[in-house]
Chains A and B, each alone.
Chain A
Amino acid sequence: MAIDTFVTSRGRRDPIKVSLPADFLWQDMKRAVCEALSEDVGDWRFFDETLQVPIDGDSIPDFDPSSVLRLHCHPCRRVSVTVNFGADQVSFKLPPVSTVSIVLKRAVKKLGLDPDMDDAYLLVLLGSSESLPPDTAIGSLTGGEDCDVEFDLVLEPTING
């Protein structure tokens, strides 16, 4: 039986799919990801996207083979996040596996907005109009050698005529 793993990485929102035997070793995974990304990720950090935890050691802890394994790999330990809301701006640092949903909640809190209303807002990349899926790992939004990402927080529009 093979384990299918979906891996996002720095600058890559769309996952690659890596299939390995169920008894794979961690170095097998790293080798497969290196090949798929055509990039040496040997020194990069790997995170479990579902559990939002870094993977240390030689195996994936508590992995349920019946579930979907989603990983994120990134060279940085933390990503600098800036969120603009009108004339206000807040900044903080989070692990690259942190999702857009986590950023949104953190930003709403730091901006002093009503946390019960956090689903009334959207995060879009600075200069973009694309609303991002809430489970997007922010490390996949950083580009090049950068370890930072900047968002605009906007009110989610009401669909009416």
Chain B
Amino acid sequence: MVEPDRPDHRALIAELQSPRFEVGVRQGHWRIISFEWPFLVVGVRTRDGAELAFRCSCIGYPAQRPEIGLWNAERGCSLSPAERPTMTGRYSLIFRTDWESGLHIYHPMDRLAFVTHGNWLVDLRFKLWIPDRGFTQLCQELHNILTSNEYQPGRKRAA
């Protein structure tokens, strides 16, 4: 497969090869499951040692935040509602299925979620995408969420 020669692709490759991304991989916090431009599928370790996969469309990276959705990496499709973990508290809506058919996470680092919620620029200013922090910032945020007490293990999951 011919790799595209475009700045967003090059920037993403550089981030995935950076020590700050690698250290998370080496600690078992996240890993690359597959990468076929513009879709990067990452697996993120959860509080109970399971793994959740996210498919991220990275066109325009890093100036544009990715589009992020829960993913079933075995079947190559969006993770079904029955397979999604339950979240409580501050993140109870993050994996909601009643918004955009559940194809995007409900978080300001997702491009569609952000552009459709103008109030988040202020209300969720501590959770915004920072281009300089790159894709690693997203993996750190997802890992923090999935290892918090608000992640409730128990549902069937597939990565």
Taking residues whose C-beta sits less than 8 angstroms from the other chain, chain B's interface range is 20 to 34
CB distance from B51 to the nearest CB of A (A): 18
Taking residues whose C-beta sits less than 8 angstroms from the other chain, chain A's interface range is 20 to 34
Task: Provide the bound-state CA to CA distance between A15 and B128, in Å.
Answer: 22
Task: Provide the bound-state CA to CA distance between A14 and B89, in Å.
Answer: 31
Q: Does A156 contact B126, Cβ atoms closer than 8 Å?
A: yes
Q: Does A131 contact B19, Cβ atoms closer than 8 Å?
A: no
Asked whether any CB of chain A lies closer than 8 Å to the CB of B27, the reply is yes
CB distance from A5 to the nearest CB of B (A): 10
Q: Does B127 contact A4, Cβ atoms closer than 8 Å?
A: no
CB distance from A11 to the nearest CB of B (A): 15
Q: Does B127 contact A68, Cβ atoms closer than 8 Å?
A: no
CB distance from B87 to the nearest CB of A (A): 10
Contact mask for chain B residues 44-60; partner A; CB cutoff 8 A; 1 contact, 0 none: 00000000000000000
Given A119-B148, A130-B133, A133-B140: A157 touches B124 (CB 8 Å cut-off): yes
Binding site for B on A (CB under 8 A): 4, 6, 13-17, 68, 70, 119-120, 122, 124, 129-131, 133-134, 154, 156-161
